[in-house]
Structure 1
Amino acid sequence: MVMMKRPSAWPLMALGLVMALLHLLKCPNVAAMDPVQELEWQVEYMTVDTLGVEQRVIGINGQFPGPQLQTTTNTIISLNVHNGLDEPFLLTWNGIQQRKNPWQDGVLGTNCPILPGQSWTYKFRAKDQIGSFSYFPSTNLHRTAGGFGSIRVDPRSTIASPFSPPDDDFAVLIGDWYQADHKVLQAMLDNGSTLPAPDAVLINGRLGATFTVEKGKTYRFRISNIGSSQTLNFRIEGHQLLLVETEGSYVESTYHDSLDVHLGQSYSVLVTMDQNDRDYYVVASTRFASPVLNGIGVLHYADSTSAVSGDLPPAPADPDFSLNQARSITWNLTTNAARPNPQGSYHYGNITITNSVKFSNSAPTLSGKQRFAINNVSHFVPDTPLKLADYYHIPNVFTSVPLHLTQEPTLAVSVLEGPFRAFVEVIFQNDEPTIQSWHTDGYSFWVVGFGSGEWNETARLTYNLRNAVSRSTTQVYPSAWTAVLMSLDNPGLWNIRSAEVQRQYLGQELYLRVVTPPGVSWKRREHAPPVNLLLCGQAKTLQVNAASPSPGEAP
């Protein structure tokens, strides 16, 4: 009999280590494999000439608007914000989903504000996201003073985009603007009044912003409405806008003469410079409001010797233009986004709805003062952030309720309980004569339907269950409804709010609490609080009980 020599254990152990290392290198969720991008932002007051007179604004690193936050999918952002203002301050990342990481959301329900003279480091990433977004202050009425900017999340080099790379990329921040100081505006709201109509529309923080281009080249314009109250129509004289992306979703490429961009929304368009060498108007005009305000910029061909002249390109005259355009924007089901699989591979139209809720906005008067509400509940902000109260079990800060609200008009801390992994139908019902804009933190949703009047169950027959666009902000037209579908797969406490500054400040917001039940894998649980967690309110004297993220995870 031939005796076989027993192999040494060392080669087998080495092989095991190699195989484990190869597995780690392939795993996209391993924190050690994700690059870290470190940034320092100094927030301070600046004096700039916005409307022909000097005005105090909020700048970041000496810039107004603030710098573009440009990153790549899954890159970890370590962003230290120093508050040089005389008031507490927070930034929120509009459309960045903060997967399982509500601690970095930057709203008063989840974060203590950064006190004057102090700093705090956000640590987050655009996990499995690409596209165009924005950031802005979430405290007081700071957004009316600035502190906002563009977010650009580029895809990883291994994931192709559904269009050829443009020759250059422009951030275009459009928004209505007040000449009054933000503290004056806040005092109006605190005293029970509403804000007046804005004074102007700015493009990139100024009147007369210029975009210099070269004939024959194609440019990507990332357009974000960072204003306070108005829907804006964006157009470039003599040029077609090829819509390709909105808030992290590639859409079916369609040409438009102009785009209605509602509060909080972002769009990417490709524009080819195929006209004569001269200057052309770039216009952002208010919609659904009177009088019409025009923000005017210039598209400057590099060899142009002719300045802009003549009439502005007109805004759409068709009263149904905005609704028809909204219905025409559809998801591109054949392209990859942040991962190498089609956007439509997780098909929402085949999922059974498990919960349904209607959010109705209203404008009640409470204690003699103007407020705004959702389902007759006007939210007020307690001294202790809701997330701290939830995590540290601090009593009497809030009580969560089921997804349906039926209370009479009241002032309360509004927190709704959302079943983990439920597939939810949300109806935004607008019985007021003004247009609304809604945003959800932590989630994107499929915008499946628009309709007039009061929503009823027969409206489901009209839903787009094939290629509705996925985004995080949607409009609701006057005396109408908008229906969205969303999967509650992101645990945490998340803000749902009006994108209109005064409505959100005076109570048209709520928080959605989604908790993983016992027995769910750590991979699906929310992150522990960060070691630099700020404590305030009733949590101020507590010890930070933070743990490292679970293995294989990163903020």
Structure 2
Amino acid sequence: MIGTRKRLTFSGIAVLADPMGNTVLLHLLCGVLAVLSVSLVNADDPYRYYTWTVTYGTVKLLDVPQQVILINGQFPGPRLDVVTNDNIILNLINKLDQPFLLTWNGIKQRKNSWQDGVLGTNCPIPPNSNYTYKFQTKDQIGSFTYFPSTQLHRAAGGYGAINVYERPKIPIPFPVPDGDFTLLTGDWFKTSHKTLQAFLDSGRTLPFPDGVLINGQTYSTFSGDQGKTYMFRISNVGLSTSLNFRIQGHKMKLVEVEGSHTVQNIYDSLDVHVGQSVAVLVTLNQAPKDYYIVASTRFNTKNLMATAVLHYSNSHTPVSGPLPAAPSYGFHESMVQARTYKWNLTASAARPNPQGSYHYGKITPTKTIVLANSAPLINGKQRYAVNRVSYINPDTPLKLADYFGIPGVFSVDSIQSSPSGGAAFLSTSVMSANLHDFLEVVFQNDENTMQSWHLDGYDFWVIGYGDDKWTPAKRSTYNLEDALTRHTVQVYPKSWSAIYVSLDNQGMWNMRSAIWERQYLGQQFYLRVWTQVHSFANEYDIPSNALRCGKAIGIHS
């Protein structure tokens, strides 16, 4: 059943969550400043404490018992319901037989790439060990996710939702919903994650997925009252496949995408690509019965789907009739839909100022970067590359090597900022950029496959989509008025997508394919956002609990 949407009020009170998600209240001394890592934060920025234990477990999925990754015994993992500027202290205990990390998809980690949870910034947590993440949902609202970033653990689960609610005094551009659903949708494989990883390590590609799950199930029920309006937070947590989401007999009003309030267009169905999240309002304004909810794969000859039920609380009639039809349009029509996503320029977000008060379209980019993906064979094995470079993880995280000045781990500018001819090669690719640069980034997809790109630590303006090759003349098609900000952008086959990003967050940040096979086999690199001025105003210092591995073993701050 849907619960009432939580609107939490804090006044010198911190909320602590125990491992089971229950809350207790800890009154803070008035006027005392709390410390997160080395930074000072206001006393009205509450702390939330969690302890999560990661284990294997057996769950029946797609009619087959499978080994999955559980967090506190749950698949999917616990949902993090937090508020703007909350401080998260999360102790992660690894009970798997392999090193493990979680990454926080879409959480900006302001000045704090130390907590990013990817192998370029963190040593993995060894088996039977733990690590405590410390980060803040600074100046953010919206629908986000977390998932494992190590090896192919993402294919076994370990993912969950992060819902960041606005502070009570910050208005939202729609009436408060009567309830709030989270739907984690994604493709799923019956084959174990270790076997899938062996496929990739041997030079083979992954097979087509076996099915689609919604919240870890192929069939579930969501209940609400007739006449009321509910928010559906929909995230694609799959490995490889774009999905289409629709509800029988109901319209969806788009209100938020990955932390940005949108112009509230109405849709019959929505495409949600790998790594992306959207939030829609649905009013239960139909006859009192049950209705199908469908999430199905897109752009594939083999159609897979998961169904759920929207149940009216006064319904006595089960679901019936045909499933709501999948959209008949292809890539072009999906791109047209993507162009209808607009930023709500008058709405407040995490702060009371309007979202559109930062006039991105009037800023001249410092630099243009063009990133071309490819699928080369290197040493006879399938790899994926960016501008000819297929990324390999060193045994020492780049962030540790950079901080301690450890040589031989990486070199800046080991990847070119535009495509060039020649054979692909393996390297630990890092691209340098200056703090406060304003970049134009073009993702050029010359392949016949769908792409999805993510940048850790940032959101960015998606200013354009287009067919064929990008050229400077394509800038005339850019949306420089109300383009949406988000953290993951799709790139259609034989097409390009363009973004603007303001590099206001110092650190070592992962730019990667959200399609995990491609990320695992090298379609990623790191963006080193740097300034010579060492200041806590720019970046926090190394955490006292930072793990050491590789060439950093034995080195202390």
Q: TM-score, normalised by structure 2?
A: 0.91
Partner of 1:6: none
Q: Residues 290, 422 of structure 1: CA spacing in aligned structure 2 closer, same or farther, 3 A cutoff?
A: same
Larger-gyration structure (1/2):
1
Shift of 1:33: 3.8
User: d(CA) in 2 for partners of 1:98 and 1:236?
Assistant: 34
What does residue range 335-346 of structure 1 map to in structure 2 within 5 Å? 335-346=347-358
User: Greater shift after overlay, 29-38 or 69-78?
Assistant: 29-38
Structure 2 CA distance for aligned equivalents of residues 23 and 295 of structure 1: 50
Tell me which amino acid in the other structure corresponds to 1:254: N
Partner of 1:497: 512
SS in 1 for 2:335: helix
Q: What is the aligned counterpart of 1:332 among 337, 344, 348?
A: 344
Note the 1:320-469 alignment, pairs <5 A: 320-401=332-413, 404=417, 406=420, 408-469=423-484
Aligned-residue offset at 1:24: 8.6
Determine which of 251, 257, 276 is the counterpart of 2:262. 251
Q: 2:248 aligns with which of 211, 214, 237?
A: 237
Query: Counterparts of 2:475 and 2:151 in 1: how far apart (Å)?
Result: 38
Corresponding residue of 2:6: none
Deviation string for 1:511-531 (max 9, x for gaps)? 00011233x7542x2110111
Deviation, structure 1 residue 403: 5.9
Task: Tell me whether 1:512 sits opposite 2:521 in the alignment.
Answer: no
Deviation string, structure 1 residues 385-409 (Cα, Å, up to 9, x no partner): 1101000111000001176254741
**1:375-430 deviation per Cα after TM superposition (whole angstroms, max 9, x unaligned):** 01000001001101000111000001176254741100010001211110000000
Q: Residues 486 and 29 from structure 1, CA distance in 2 versus in 1: closer, same or farther, beyond 3 angstroms?
A: farther
Q: What residue ranges of structure 2 are gaps of 5+ in the alignment?
A: 1-29
In structure 2, give the amino acid aligned to 1:370. Q
Residue 17 of structure 1 is matched in structure 2 by none
Aligned residues: 520
Identify which range, 210-219 or 464-473, moves more after superposition.
210-219
The residue that corresponds to 1:310 in the other structure is: 321
Instruction: Measure, in 2, the Cα distance between the counterparts of 1:222 and 1:274.
Output: 19
- The one-letter amino acid paired with 1:364 is P
- The letter of the residue matching 2:274 is L
Match of 1:482 among 487, 497, 500: 497
| Preserved CA contact (<8 Å) 1:378 1:508 | yes
Please give the alpha-carbon distance, in whole angstroms, between the structure 1 residues aligned to 2:460 and 2:280.
21
Aligned counterpart for 1:57 among listed residues 68, 80, 83: 68
Structure 1 residue 29: Cα displacement? 7.0
How do residues 188-337 of structure 1 correspond to structure 2 at under 5 angstroms? 188-319=199-330, 320-337=332-349
Instruction: Give the distance between the partners of 1:276 and 1:380, measured in 2 at CA.
Output: 56
Separation in 2, partners of 1:290, 1:510: 32
One-letter code of the match for 2:547? Answer: L
Report the alpha carbon displacement of residue 32 of structure 1 after superposing the two structures with TM: 3.9
Q: Is the 8 A contact 2:32 2:43 kept in 1?
A: no
In structure 2, what residue type is equivalent to 1:200? G
1:360: Cα distance to partner?
0.3
- In structure 1, give the amino acid aligned to 2:546: L
Separation in 2, partners of 1:501, 1:366:
19
Partner of residue 553, structure 2: 540
Whole-Å separation in 2 of the counterparts to 1:92 and 1:31: 26
Secondary structure in 2 aligned to 1:253?
coil
Quote the Cα distance in structure 1 between the aligned partners of 2:448 and 2:494. 6
In structure 2, how many angstroms separate the alpha carbons of the residues matched to 1:42 and 1:171? 22
Percentage identity across paired residues of the two chains: 56
Q: 1:77 to 1:22 in 2, by over 3 A?
A: closer
**Length-normalised TM-score, structure 1:** 0.92
Residue aligned with 1:382, SS: coil
Say whether the 8 Å CA contact 1:403–1:418 is kept in structure 2.
no
Residue matched to 2:85: 74
For residue 461 of structure 1, report the CA deviation from its aligned partner: 0.6
How far is 1:330 from its partner?
Answer: 0.4
Alpha-carbon distance in 2 for matches of 1:53, 1:517: 55
Structure 1 letter corresponding to 2:121: T
Structure 2 distance, partners of 1:333, 1:515, is 31
Q: Is the 1:136–1:143 Cα contact (8 Å) retained in structure 2?
A: yes
What runs of 5+ residues in structure 1 fail to find an aligned partner?
Answer: 1-20, 546-555
Does the 8 Å contact 2:513/2:519 carry over to 1?
yes
Aligned counterparts, 1:25-36, within 5 A: 30-36=41-47
C-alpha distance in 1, partners of 2:553/2:41?
Answer: 33
**1:420–1:517: 8 Å Cα contact kept in structure 2?**
no
Q: CA deviation at 1:318?
A: 2.3
1:171-229 deviations in Å (ceiling 9; x for gaps): 10000000010000000000000000000011110110211111111111110000000
Does structure 2 conserve the Cα–Cα contact (< 8 Å) formed by 1:377 and 1:408? no
Q: CA deviation at 1:31?
A: 4.2
Q: 2:369 is paired with a residue of what secondary structure?
A: strand
1:528 aligns with 2:541: yes
Mean Cα deviation higher: 306-315 or 379-388: 306-315
Alignment partner for residue 92 of structure 1, among 90, 103, 118?
103
Query: Match for 2:173 among 152, 162, 177?
Result: 162
Distance 1:531 1:29 in 2: 16
Relative to its length, the structure with more helix (as a share) is 1
Residue identity in the other structure for 1:540: I
Match of 1:471 in 2: 486
Contact 1:357 1:426 in 2 (8 A): yes
Report the counterpart of residue 108 of structure 1 in structure 2: 119
Query: Is the contact made by 2:31 and 2:43 (CA closer than 8 Å) also made in structure 1?
Result: no
What SS does structure 2 have at the residue aligned with 1:458?
Answer: helix
